[in-house]
Amino acid sequence: MKRVALLGATGSIGRQALEIIEAYPELELVAAASGSQPIDGLAPLTQVGGDLTELLERAAPDVVLNAVVGFAGLPATLWTLERGVDLALANKESLVAGGDLAVSAWKGRGGRILPVDSEHSAAFQLLEGRPPDVVHSLVLTASGGPFRGRTRAELGVVTPSEALAHPTWNMGPKITVDSATLMNKGLELIEAHFLFGLDYDRIEVVIHPTSIVHALVRFRDGASLAHVGYPDMRVPISFALTYPERAATPIEPLEFGSGLILEFALPDEQAFPCLGLARAAGEAGGTAPCVLNAANEVAVGAFLDEQLPFLGISDVVERTLSSVDSPPAQDLDELVAVDAEARRTASALMRELVH
């Protein structure tokens, strides 16, 4: 039996994880957490909000599925890695904001990070633990979101409900807006850097509208391997929770008789500047990715509340990055302080921008 703690149990990933856990007898849900929705009776131990590491201490799980959205997931990520417990990681923001701290907590402690993001799950499977020097480059695919092909001028008038209508994935609101701005792929670029130890110039992003190819690795011998399958998050969730068993799921295998379309194009970074901002923040290092993430969380929240136009998201992120110092953080307290300052700055810049 594998004892699972599920953080973010009421979300899009959390609900799909419950389905996987229910169907696989060797997974036992020992603890579950949400942010504010009641979850009484969902698991022997439950917690709503507060410090999720208290729940983890009590539950002593074999694997933690961190499916909380945003920076709030970071303490649980660090707790899990520090104790050498396996981490099924959906909460990409924790690795983006706290990548250096997470990697030093992870190394040598014996726990594995099993990525739940479909692209990183794919890359994890393609790499099979091989060291970075056999890899020429990693290619992350992006659907392009609901606004693929639109010009910057056209993006000036898009609404939250249009941004929430994602063409291939059904996800929580924050990541759906991140997909529409391409910030999601920027966050994934930083996530991949920390997960696989690859420099940023060896991680590429391509637009692939049907989301059939999840990632592709080019090796130094000239071979490229791709991970393909229908876009369904239950596959990477199941892979992470049942690793290395690769348990059966109800998802159909890929069919070639139904018009599979594999198209690729380079992203339009002028219309979607968030991708370049994330790459620059990743390359700058220190706490720049934490600042990027904080500003983005604030701006996306404001966009969803109709307080900021769509193009304001990248503006707020860019201005926050150039206004907040981002030296490396020595510990979680320092990182939390940087995150808080970036949030304050982003909110102030946003007020200037909309008045």
Regarding 141 and contact with ligand NAP (CB under 6 A), the answer is no
Give the binding range for ligand NAP (CB under 6 A) out of 20-28, 84-92, 245-253, 328-336: 84-92
Regarding 117 and contact with ligand NAP (CB under 6 A), the answer is yes
Regarding 34 and contact with ligand NAP (CB under 6 A), the answer is yes
Task: Residue 96: name the closest of 18, 175, 181 by CA.
Answer: 175
Residue nearest to ligand NAP (CB): 11
Question: Do the Cβ atoms of 194 and 285 come closer than 8 Å?
Answer: no
Regarding 10 and contact with ligand NAP (CB under 6 A), the answer is yes
Question: Do the Cβ atoms of 196 and 123 come closer than 8 Å?
Answer: yes
Regarding 182 and contact with ligand NAP (CB under 6 A), the answer is no
One residue of 32, 59, 68, 350 binding ligand NAP per CB under 6 A:
68
- The CA distances from residue 5 to 62, 110, 118, 166, in Å, are 8, 18, 20, 29
Q: How many residues bind ligand NAP (CB under 6 A)?
A: 29
Regarding 80 and contact with ligand NAP (CB under 6 A), the answer is no
One residue of 92, 185, 193, 208 binding ligand NAP per CB under 6 A:
92
Euclidean distance between CA atoms 43 and 29, whole angstroms: 6
Tell me how far, at minimum, the Cβ of 219 lies from ligand NAP, in Å: 26
Regarding 36 and contact with ligand NAP (CB under 6 A), the answer is yes
Regarding 171 and contact with ligand NAP (CB under 6 A), the answer is yes
Distance between start and end Cα atoms, the chain: 57
Contacting residues for 204 by C-beta, under 8 A, at least 6 apart = 137, 138, 139, 140
- Which of 215, 349 has the CB closer to ligand NAP? 215
φ, ψ of residue 124 in degrees (nearest 5): -60, -45
Euclidean distance between CA atoms 354 and 308, whole angstroms: 7
Q: List residues binding ligand NAP (CB under 6 A).
A: 8-14, 33-37, 49, 52, 67-69, 72, 90-93, 117, 169, 171-172, 174-175, 233
